[in-house]
């Protein structure tokens, strides 16, 4: 089968690999119909995530048709068209049982801090991902969800990560009616977070990025205010100014470890890798939220440590809430939002590319070329 294959930082190709096999009675083999490239994949592509082994296949956002099921699988049958949450979760450990499917304790041998994610390095479990014609899906009775008949398959693939992550970013922010929400990052995740923030009744939603095409898109799609931080010498001061010198009620970090905007963070975090990426957006979030405010983090950081203003978290009494999205927990609610027409996730998709062209697709998304927001890879074995 054809699969994406990581060869090193900024180097990927597609090539033939052995078909995945059932290795556990609760596994399924899924023939992939659509698979997206995520901002998280860029952290792998740029060599920022430790234990990203050469020869791995990435891809944690995919839909597909069930081709084979293990002997203990009960909820899925061959031929089902499913959307597969990006988290691999057992459904039985204390974390899964409490709805924390992004923190399952029985799917990652390599790390206890990190849950398990398809195609996301050995630090996240060492599973191959869905940027391939076929993929092994462990705990097939827990995550995979049959795509409702009337749902557009492109909406379905966006429900594997982008929609739940954006929604959870807003949910964790604890937004109260009348709040001012500031979202850092106008990638798919930030745009979806800004859109979902409105579900909680804020008075203002503001999005910050450096790319005008994305800000313009966000303004239309998420009906929010949009500002380019490059236009302001001091973005934190600017946010203070536009929030009556009070600070935002809540801030959302939808950027993660490859933030721009602060040369010291960029140099120490991305050039020298002396910290787990640059924490500029998180620093800005902490410094622009009000006293007693909430900072919600969905932007991904590596495991060791980052430079953030810990003193200000203390002095301002800030609450920090963060997690990998718990896709499975949120799916019923979000499927309803999509079916009711309150959310149109497929509108974020700007590029549809054959799986064979994964190398170009990665570069295009990484360099933010051709006004790219979200790319879907389509295997030729789709139908």
Ligand X SMILES: NC(=O)c1ccc[n+]([C@@H]2O[C@H](COP(=O)([O-])OP(=O)(O)OC[C@H]3O[C@@H](n4cnc5c(N)ncnc54)[C@H](O)[C@@H]3O)[C@@H](O)[C@H]2O)c1
Q: What is the DSSP string of 99-131?
A: T-GGG-SSS-SS-SSS--BTTS-GGGT----SS
292 touches other proteins (CB under 8 A)? no
- Site residues (CB under 5 A) for Zn ion? 38, 40, 89-90, 93, 96, 104, 106, 161
Identify what 190 binds: other proteins, ligand X, Zn ion, none; CB under 5 to 8 Å per kind.
ligand X
Give the shortest CB-230-to-ligand X separation in angstroms.
Answer: 10
Report if residue 310 touches other proteins, rule: CB under 8 A. no
43 to 82: interface string for ligand X, x by CB under 6 A: x---------------------------------------
| Lookup: tokens for 379 | 């295997």
Q: For the window 174-203, what string marks contact with ligand X as x by the rule CB under 6 A? A: ----------xxxxxxx-------------
| Axis-axis angle for helices 280-288, 235-242 (nearest 10) | 30
171 binds, among other proteins, Zn ion, ligand X, none (CB under 5 to 8 A by kind): other proteins
Residue 209, φ and ψ in degrees, nearest 5: -155, -170
Task: Give the nearest residue (CB) to Zn ion.
Answer: 38
| Neighbour-count burial of 112, counting CB atoms closer than 10 A to its CB (0-12 exposed, 13-18 middle, 19+ buried) | exposed
Q: Report whether 218 contacts 186 (CB < 8 A).
A: yes
Asked if residues 192 and 39 have their Cβ atoms less than 8 Å apart, the reply is no
Residue with tokens 């977070």: 193
Beta bridge partners of 228: 209
327-339 helix and 162-172 helix, angle to the nearest 10 degrees: 100
Contact between 165 and ligand X by CB under 6 A: the answer reads yes
User: In this chain, which of 12, 107, 325, 358 binds ligand X, going by CB under 6 A?
Assistant: 325
Q: How far is the CB of 253 from other proteins (least distance, A)?
A: 16
DSSP strand pairing (289-297 vs 134-137): unpaired
Binding of ligand X at residue 227 (CB under 6 A)? no
Under 8 Å between Cβ of 219 and 226: yes
Task: List residues near other proteins by CB under 8 A.
Answer: 7-13, 23-27, 47, 50-57, 72, 88, 90, 92-94, 97-100, 105-113, 116, 122-123, 125-128, 138-139, 168, 171-172, 273, 302-304, 319, 321, 323, 326, 329, 359-364, 367, 369-370
Give me the residues that bind ligand X (CB under 6 A), please: 38-40, 42-43, 161, 165, 184-190, 208-211, 214, 229, 254-256, 259-261, 280-281, 298-300, 324-325
């Amino acid at each position: 089968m054809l699969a994406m294959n990581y060869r090193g930082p900024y180097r990927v190709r597609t090539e033939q690999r052995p078909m995945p096999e059932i290795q556990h009675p609760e596994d399924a083999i899924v023939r992939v119909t659509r698979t997206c490239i995520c901002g998280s994949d860029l952290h792998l592509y740029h060599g920022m995530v430790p234990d990203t082994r050469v020869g791995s296949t990435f891809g944690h956002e995919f839909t597909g048709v069930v081709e084979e099921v293990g002997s203990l699988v009960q909820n899925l049958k061959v031929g089902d068209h499913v959307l597969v949450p990006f988290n691999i979760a057992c459904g039985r450990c204390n974390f899964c049982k409490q709805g924390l499917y992004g923190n399952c304790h029985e799917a990652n041998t390599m790390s206890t801090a990190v849950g398990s994610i398809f195609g996301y390095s050995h630090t996240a479990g060492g599973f191959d991902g869905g940027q391939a014609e076929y993929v092994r899906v462990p705990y097939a009775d827990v995550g995979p969800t049959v795509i409702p008949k009337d749902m557009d398959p492109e909406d379905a693939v966006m429900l594997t990560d982008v929609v739940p992550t954006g929604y959870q970013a807003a949910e964790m922010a604890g937004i109260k009616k009348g709040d001012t929400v500031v979202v850092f990052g106008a990638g798919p995740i930030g745009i979806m977070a800004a859109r979902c923030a409105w579900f909680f009744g804020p008075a203002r939603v503001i999005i910050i990025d450096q790319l005008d095409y994305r800000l313009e898109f966000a303004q239309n799609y998420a009906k929010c205010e949009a500002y380019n931080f490059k236009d302001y010498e001091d973005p934190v001061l600017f946010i203070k100014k536009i929030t009556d010198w009070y600070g935002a009620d809540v801030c959302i970090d939808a950027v993660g470890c490859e933030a721009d905007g602060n040369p010291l963070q960029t140099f120490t975090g991305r050039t020298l890798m002396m910290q787990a990426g640059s924490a500029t957006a998180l620093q800005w979030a902490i410094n622009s939220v009000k006293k007693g405010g909430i900072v919600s983090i969905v932007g991904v950081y590596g495991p060791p440590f980052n430079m953030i203003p810990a003193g200000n978290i203390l002095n301002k009494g800030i609450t920090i809430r963060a997690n990998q999205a718990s896709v499975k927990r949120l799916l019923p609610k979000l499927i309803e939002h999509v079916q009711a027409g309150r959310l149109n996730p497929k509108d974020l998709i700007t590029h549809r590319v054959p799986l064979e062209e994964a190398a170009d697709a990665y570069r295009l998304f990484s360099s933010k070329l051709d006004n790219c927001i979200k790319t879907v890879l389509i295997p030729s074995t789709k139908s």
